A and B are shown apart, each in its own frame.
Chain A
């Protein structure tokens, strides 16, 4: 058996070398990052090798069984003989091993290598794109953005002198600057956000207590702020609400009174803080945020400024997102060309198209950034009503229970569980973290007679899990994971996709392992039928596995095609019931193939 295993590995090696030579001789090398030519050839060869792997294993099994059975069999055998029964155990184990290798190659190896090759092919364009972006932001004075893109470009091509020089130059300029980098770091600090989020969870009593303490300390801003917060969370008509109102009014009066200051600068700082704070309380979040950002830059140690900058940031983040949140790396976006339609309760429908989606690491996909988001709304009659387009958007998972009743009614979550499920919340408006006057809004188009309502936040009437499924959906189901295909087979119709395509793909992929077990059992039967009678294997027969591999490859293509046709036929008649039918038919075939092997006998 050891010799046969070695021979099998040698066969694989010979096939790989043959494929590698073929790729070198016939495949033209596309434009790549310098130095990746060999890797490209290697991975291209590996991809072809994995395509041929089922045929290679199948042919190797036939030859190996022909040798093994030829050596063992010197007696007349009848059907279901003890010898065949004892051999069946080994055949079954090797069938399962062979199937596992084939499925691993198809489900893991091929997607990984294809992904690697795609990245290699797209790397030169991506490098150019990042370098252009780095230069653009550099010319605009956004050194922090510029260096992010320069670093990403260097990650793609670590040997590029152009990227290394640009990154080095930007690093020197950022180190020498006392403006952008420290401010950016302060703004991104998570410490303040955490303390602020703790305040959000406080009760009205706790907030009122803080307000009173601040009032006693003559910290009028804090006293007013905490009393406003207490007012918001207190039950309407409660004593705490009344107390908070009184405290807020008192604190505001104290704020309005001209105070005594050590110097002019202190007075100016107080005036600016009060102005920014007024904007925050009035709900002018954007203005408040930039004013506090400006103050934070000038007085980074001022406790009031830090606190209210954090509060303004929290308010901002509930309505807008910052452009620098969008992840930039050497990799590509997680998905491209994500499209789906949503049927509304009144029969109208929306068509959503996203050019690219990137998820933020360690969030389990709960936070995504969309590039090039388009939403088209159509009426019941199929006529266009309105559309929006936004270059970047942020998508979050929002639990339905956390939405107000009006939003819940508006979205009409007929198939969703309002207590457990979440929906995608799309933030359409974005800002630059540092520079004011940079609000990016969606572009709207309206049909005649349609009311021109716009939104800064959009809730999609769909389960967030379905959104993640659609993110992984491809128009070619062969590129998808089996779990996604199965889910898609049940939901395709709801989102504008053809159920029959994903249904037949689900049937195909689920029955493929069983089909390979059948083929390996049949390979054992062929090995028995054509076992070597005249002694041992001869060197002159070495070409047999290669010839068999080619034959098996053609046979497998034909079987796969027939499988698809059959699945289309069954799905056309039985719809989703075809999935279990195909599965049980495949199990029946395994049983018949096992019986066929057990019925082997001498001539």
Chain B
């Protein structure tokens, strides 16, 4: 229970801070004042990350049972109780509060004008504005064609009331920040996925009890991950197996949220809840069989 609470508290705090830092970075326009979040947005982030931490908490309790494998049955019962608490109480409540607090759409384009006195690269050119008119979104300055052997042009151009550069740098406000933070493929995948998942969870919550239970079948699949904790004789491999299982279950559910109808090889269509139940059944059976036929390999043999 202590670990479960710690994961939720620290996870929410860490995720909240990370999102605030990300929002701060997306709002930066070099040479301009920062944008401040209002209290509603802060509450939204906090509740959202409490829910997200509750999703991840199940992995931590499984990992803990690998590291400290004593009292196996008690561990399974505690783990299951905590999963139920997470998916039937904490996650719906935190999502509900978050929905009431408001919403942040981090992937929306920003509309902050560039500032003067800084070099900015854009589309093979280097821009330098000496003065910017924020109202008309025009600027004076100069642009230089960046030199490369593919581009032998010597063009440099004086800018007089020229429109400000406006490239596709969503969700960032300044191309300078975009260039240092947008290269990571992980972020390009993770951000839209998280946003999509949040939307799917909120839709399920608003759809009523059955709708939420269908969505929460994801939690059932995650809960039964404890079944693979004895799969290998080396607990590092058991740890890896749990991590892979967690990523795989989340990926399948995200794929459903993305719009997949569950059609397997054009032969059969499986809804998300059924898919999660099948996964849960397989993992539970594996766990039961292993607990019957194999002594716990995670136990330490000391003299």
Interface of A with B (CB < 8 Å)? 62-63, 66, 73-76, 122, 125-126, 129, 336-337, 339, 341, 349, 351, 353, 355-356, 372, 374, 376, 378, 381-384, 387, 389, 475-478, 496-498, 500-501, 504-505, 526, 529-530, 532-534, 538, 541, 544, 547-548, 551, 554, 557-558, 560-562, 564-566, 568-569, 572, 602-603
Known A-B contacts A533-B235, A557-B184; the reply to A498 vs B118 at CB < 8 A is yes
CB–CB B21/A551 < 8 A: no
CB–CB A568/B28 < 8 A: yes
Known A-B contacts A339-B144, A355-B154, A384-B160; the reply to A74 vs B302 at CB < 8 A is yes
CB–CB B18/A62 < 8 A: no
CB–CB B187/A561 < 8 A: yes
Q: Which of B40-48, B66-74, B200-208 forms part of the interface with chain A?
A: B66-74
Choice from B30, B128, B240 contacting A548 with Cβ under 8 Å: B240
Return chain A residues, CB-CB under 8 Å to B30.
Answer: 498, 500-501
Return chain B residues, CB-CB under 8 Å to A526.
Answer: 236
Bound form: Cα–Cα A538–B244 in Å:
21
Residues of B178-202 contacting chain A, CB below 8 A? 179-181, 184-187
CB–CB B68/A125 < 8 A: no
CB of B75, distance to nearest CB on chain A (Å): 13
Return chain A residues, CB-CB under 8 Å to B160.
Answer: 384
CB of B32, distance to nearest CB on chain A (Å): 11
Return chain A residues, CB-CB under 8 Å to B301.
Answer: 74, 533-534
Question: Known contacts A336-B146, A530-B239; can you find 16 more A-B pairs with CB under 8 A?
Answer: A339-B128, A341-B117, A351-B142, A355-B147, A383-B140, A384-B158, A497-B118, A497-B119, A498-B118, A526-B236, A530-B66, A533-B298, A533-B301, A544-B240, A561-B184, A569-B24
Known A-B contacts A76-B302, A126-B149, A568-B177; the reply to A603 vs B68 at CB < 8 A is yes
Choice from A541, A558, A561, A569 contacting B181 with Cβ under 8 Å: A561
Interface status of B243 (Cβ within 8 A of chain A): yes
Known A-B contacts A336-B147, A339-B128, A564-B181; the reply to A603 vs B31 at CB < 8 A is no
CB–CB B158/A356 < 8 A: no
Return chain A residues, CB-CB under 8 Å to B265.
Answer: none
Task: List 13 contacting pairs A-B, 8 Å CB cutoff, sorted by A.
Answer: A73-B302, A351-B141, A381-B131, A382-B141, A475-B119, A533-B235, A533-B301, A538-B234, A554-B186, A561-B186, A568-B181, A569-B24, A572-B34
Return chain B residues, CB-CB under 8 Å to A569.
Answer: 20-21, 24-25
Bound form: Cα–Cα A60–B144 in Å:
48
CB–CB B302/A501 < 8 A: no
Interface status of B111 (Cβ within 8 A of chain A): no
CB–CB B24/A372 < 8 A: no
Return chain B residues, CB-CB under 8 Å to A538.
Answer: 233-234
CB–CB B156/A389 < 8 A: yes
Bound form: Cα–Cα A126–B128 in Å:
29
Interface status of B275 (Cβ within 8 A of chain A): no
CB–CB A382/B140 < 8 A: yes
Choice from B150, B186, B235 contacting A530 with Cβ under 8 Å: B235
CB of A121, distance to nearest CB on chain B (Å): 9
CB of B178, distance to nearest CB on chain A (Å): 11
Bound form: Cα–Cα A94–B299 in Å:
28
CB–CB A534/B233 < 8 A: yes
CB–CB A75/B126 < 8 A: no
Choice from A356, A383, A387, A548 contacting B147 with Cβ under 8 Å: A356
CB of A536, distance to nearest CB on chain B (Å): 11
CB–CB A541/B140 < 8 A: no
Bound form: Cα–Cα A361–B71 in Å:
73
CB of A147, distance to nearest CB on chain B (Å): 23
Residues of B126-160 contacting chain A, CB below 8 A? 126, 128-131, 140-142, 144, 146-150, 154, 156, 158, 160
Choice from A75, A353, A476 contacting B144 with Cβ under 8 Å: A353
Return chain A residues, CB-CB under 8 Å to B179.
Answer: 475-476
CB–CB B297/A533 < 8 A: yes
CB of A444, distance to nearest CB on chain B (Å): 13
Bound form: Cα–Cα A383–B158 in Å:
10
Return chain A residues, CB-CB under 8 Å to B146.
Answer: 336-337
Choice from B31, B128, B302 contacting A75 with Cβ under 8 Å: B302
Bound form: Cα–Cα A541–B231 in Å:
13
Interface status of B98 (Cβ within 8 A of chain A): no
Interface status of B38 (Cβ within 8 A of chain A): no
Return chain B residues, CB-CB under 8 Å to A384.
Answer: 140, 142, 158, 160
CB–CB A602/B302 < 8 A: yes
Bound form: Cα–Cα A298–B150 in Å:
45
CB–CB A541/B21 < 8 A: no
CB–CB A372/B300 < 8 A: no
Bound form: Cα–Cα A568–B236 in Å:
35
Bound form: Cα–Cα A339–B31 in Å:
18
Return chain A residues, CB-CB under 8 Å to B184.
Answer: 557, 560-561
